[in-house]
């Protein structure tokens, strides 16, 4: 759950720090008061993109920070470990996410005070908050969303991951077969090209890292005179001069030995001097040997330059680096081998394809059976839950379309097979008696769509009780008895997980366990957004405002008190 949210210098917010509670947390405020800033900030903490343009005018930096308490699990620990974050094996894990924005665009992400990427934050965000915004009705009509909802309800995550692996293996074999066919179609022309490229590279026979070692040797040969002088001077200072470092150290060591006879503490320094003397003697010998090896060879320099020119030519032709040249040689030899042994390779890949397809279809068929079984249960639960939001006569169906057995085993048809299986899932709905069920996009009105989305989301995510869920004006387009029914459904959901909801409905607001007011304040010169928890009297005033507008009447206050009393 979300325990604490801090926002600083975002849009019209100077700085706020709000603690959230378990249960139903309601955010209210006049239109344009800044409630969307709160929701967008939460989205940023789950990995959604956020622009530096949101930094408050006149400021150069901004920050959003959230403290989340998440149930510990192997998956949570594994995901955190991917980012180098270790946690204790306790029942709950504290996860602190911080987004830092800078006017120059250098935005940073921290998870538990460790620098992280947006990709990693998205993975972590999946355990933290599930946000359902006002624009989600469009996604509700997307059949791809229907498949994801059904699989979430059926708890098919592990099966889906296993299937995705099998699909990748199957697709890779199919890709190899397609490449082989392409190669066969251009076999003669390709044979000549590949053979030329292989011979071209093999004639030079480059070794990985060879260009770097040749460059180093070339620099030495071009600087023999300078290197000779440097090594001569270094050797003299270390060993040859009367005041050479090694000789001086030897004298110092003798004096320290005499001192050690009277003060034992100097014994340790003597051993250090001996070590230093040995190191310097080794260095002097290395410098001397290097000096003796130095010899300018015009022939060797020419040989190196010719070799580097050949290597540069290969790099220009085959990829820019010596590593890519060597890799190109390997790949070209493999393609040559495949073309030369086309029939054998084709037969081998066909056998692999049959085996991989069988493995894929085994898991995909099991998933299909589980989806079909889960669909019937999902239908019943959705219809039951729709009654709780004043859609008593609504009917809901899950239709699963799958290819027949013949198509599934057609080796040339892989398009219907995907990483998610071979099923197409679509939800059908009817709100009224006597009307046949139709695809969602064709039948659900605005108010019905809001309620249906609430029910589908809450029914599908029954196994995610530890994650906070945010609804941004889920009750838009409804009112009266329907709004009250939606509020009661949100209240029911909040008994098993933390719910944050932005609402304009007094019927919903009256059910809050914790009621927050988002409001704009102005001093005539600038405007800022604030957020605070309401006490009982303030709840009455806010709900009364939601009932009647700015001109609050005593009747509205009495009605607000009755609503709060009934909600308890």
Task: Report the alpha-carbon distance of residue 210 to residue 208 in Å, rounded.
Answer: 6
Residue 548, burial from CB neighbour count under 10 angstroms (0-12, 13-18, 19+): middle
The predicted pLDDT at position 415 comes to 66
Domain boundaries, the chain: 1-134+470-534, 204-334
Specify the DSSP class assigned to residue 435. Answer: P
What secondary structure, in 3-state letters, does 463-487 show?
CCCCCEEEEECCCCCCCHHHHHHHH
Residues 531-552 have pLDDT tens digits of: 999 999 999 999 999 888 888 8
Two tokens at 21?
Answer: 């509670």
Q: Where are the alpha helices (DSSP H) in 388-466?
A: 405-408, 440-443, 446-460
Which helix (H) or strand (E) segment holds residue 400: the answer is: strand 395-401
SS3 assignment for 108-148: EEEECCEEECHHHHHHHHCCCEEEECHHHHHHHCCHHHHHH
Note the pLDDT of residue 137: 61
pLDDT at position 444, please? 58
Strand-pair category, 114-116 with 13-19: unpaired
| CB-based contact 110:98 (threshold 8 Å) | yes
Main-chain dihedrals φ then ψ at residue 417, nearest 5 degrees? -85, 130
Number of residues written out for the chain: 568
In contact, 453 and 422? CB cutoff 8 Å: no
**Over the range 167-189, which residues count as b (16 or more CB within 10 Å of their CB) and which as e?**
bebbbebbebbeebeebeeeeee
Name the E strands within 203-302.
none
| pLDDT beneath 70: ranges in the chain | 133-139, 183-185, 188, 222-225, 227-228, 235, 240-243, 246, 294-297, 409-415, 444-447, 462-466, 477
Q: pLDDT tens for residues 111-147?
A: 999 999 999 999 898 888 888 766 666 667 788 889 9
CA atoms within 13 Å, Cβ hemisphere of 7: 27
Can you read off the two tokens belonging to residue 490?
């949100």
Cα–Cα distance measured from residue 311 to residue 205, given in angstroms and rounded to the nearest whole number? 9
Which of 492, 470, 458, 465 has the alpha carbon at shortest distance from 71? 465
Cβ–Cβ < 8 Å for 13, 56: yes
Contacts of 400 (CB under 8 A, 6+ apart): 368, 371, 372, 375, 423, 424, 425
CB within 8 A of 272, min separation 6: which ones? none
* Two tokens, residue 286: 């290395």
SS3 501: strand
Strand 114-116 and strand 129-132: pairing? unpaired
Question: Is residue 223 within 8 Å of 230, Cβ to Cβ?
Answer: no
The pLDDT, as a whole number, for residue 134 is 62
Two tokens at 134? Answer: 């006002």
What is the per-residue pLDDT for 6?
96
pLDDT at residue 224 in the model: 67
Q: What is the pLDDT of residue 424?
A: 93
Write the DSSP assignment of 11-75 as a string of letters: TTEEEEEEE--SSEEEEE-STTSSHHHHHHHHHHHTT----GGGBPTT-SEEEEEEEEEEE--HH
Q: Which residues fall within 8 angstroms of residue 280, CB to CB, at 6 or more apart?
A: 238, 245, 246, 249
pLDDT value of residue 351? 92
Beta-sheet pairing, 468-472 with 129-132: parallel
pLDDT given at position 274: 76
Cα-atom radius of gyration of the chain, to the nearest Å? 36
Report the candidate in 74, 200, 227, 163 with the shortest Cα–Cα distance to residue 363: 163
Place of tokens 């009455």: 540
Please give the helix or strand (H or E) that residue 92 lies within, else none.
Answer: strand 92-102
1-134+470-534 is a CATH 1.20.140.10 domain: no
């Amino acid at each position: 759950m979300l325990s604490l949210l801090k926002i600083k210098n975002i849009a019209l917010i100077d700085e706020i720090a709000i603690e959230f509670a378990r249960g139903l947390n309601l955010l209210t405020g006049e239109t344009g008061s800044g409630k969307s800033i709160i929701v967008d900030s939460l989205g940023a903490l789950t990995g959604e993109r956020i622009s530096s343009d949101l930094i408050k005018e006149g400021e150069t930096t901004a920050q959003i920070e959230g403290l989340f308490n998440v149930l510990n699990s192997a998956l949570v620990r594994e995901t955190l470990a991917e980012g180098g974050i270790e946690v204790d094996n306790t029942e709950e894990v504290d996860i602190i996410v911080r987004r830092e924005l800078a006017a120059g665009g250098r935005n940073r992400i921290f998870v538990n005070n460790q620098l992280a990427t947006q990709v990693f934050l998205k993975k972590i965000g999946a355990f933290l908050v599930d946000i359902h915004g006002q624009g989600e009705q469009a996604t509700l009509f997307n059949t791809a969303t229907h498949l994801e909802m059904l699989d979430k309800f059926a708890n098919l995550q592990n099966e889906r991951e296993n299937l995705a692996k099998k699909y990748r293996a199957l697709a890779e074999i199919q890709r190899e077969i397609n490449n082989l066919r392409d190669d066969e179609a251009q076999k003669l022309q390709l044979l000549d090209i590949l053979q030329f490229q292989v011979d071209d590279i093999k004639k030079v026979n480059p070794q990985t890292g060879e260009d770097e070692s040749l460059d180093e040797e070339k620099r030495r040969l071009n600087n023999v005179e300078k290197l000779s002088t440097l090594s001569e001077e270094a050797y003299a200072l270390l060993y040859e001069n009367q005041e050479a470092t090694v000789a001086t150290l030897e004298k110092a060591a003798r004096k320290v030995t005499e001192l050690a006879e009277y003060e034992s503490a100097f014994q340790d320094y003597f051993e250090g001097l001996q070590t230093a003397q040995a190191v310097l003697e080794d260095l002097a010998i290395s410098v001397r040997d290097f000096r003796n090896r130095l010899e300018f060879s015009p022939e060797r320099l020419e040989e190196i330059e010719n070799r580097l020119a050949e290597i540069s030519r290969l790099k220009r032709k085959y990829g820019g680096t010596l590593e890519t040249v060597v890799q190109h040689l390997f790949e070209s030899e493999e393609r040559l081998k495949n073309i030369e042994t086309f029939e054998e390779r084709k037969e081998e890949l066909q056998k692999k394809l049959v085996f991989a397809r069988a493995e894929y279809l085994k898991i995909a068929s099991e998933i299909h059976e589980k989806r079909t079984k889960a669909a019937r249960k999902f239908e019943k639960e959705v219809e039951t839950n729709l009654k709780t939001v004043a859609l008593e006569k609504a009917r809901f169906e899950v239709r699963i379309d799958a290819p027949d057995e013949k198509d599934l085993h057609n080796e040339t048809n892989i398009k219907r097979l995907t990483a998610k299986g071979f099923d197409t899932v679509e939800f059908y709905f009817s709100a009224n008696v006597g009307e046949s069920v139709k695809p969602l996009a064709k039948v659900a009105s605005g108010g019905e769509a809001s309620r249906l989305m609430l029910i589908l989301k809450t029914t599908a995510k029954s196994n995610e009780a530890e994650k906070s869920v945010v609804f941004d004006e889920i009750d838009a387009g409804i009112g009266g008895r329907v709004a009250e029914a939606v509020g009661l459904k949100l209240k029911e959901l909040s008994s098993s997980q933390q719910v944050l909801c932005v609402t304009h409905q007094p019927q919903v607001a009256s059910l809050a366990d914790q009621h927050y007011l988002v409001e704009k304040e102005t001093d005539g010169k600038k405007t800022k957004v604030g957020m605070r928890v309401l006490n009982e009297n303030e709840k009455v005033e806010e709900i009364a405002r939601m009932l009647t507008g700015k001109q609050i009447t005593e009747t509205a206050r009495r009605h607000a008190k009755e609503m709060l009393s009934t909600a308890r």
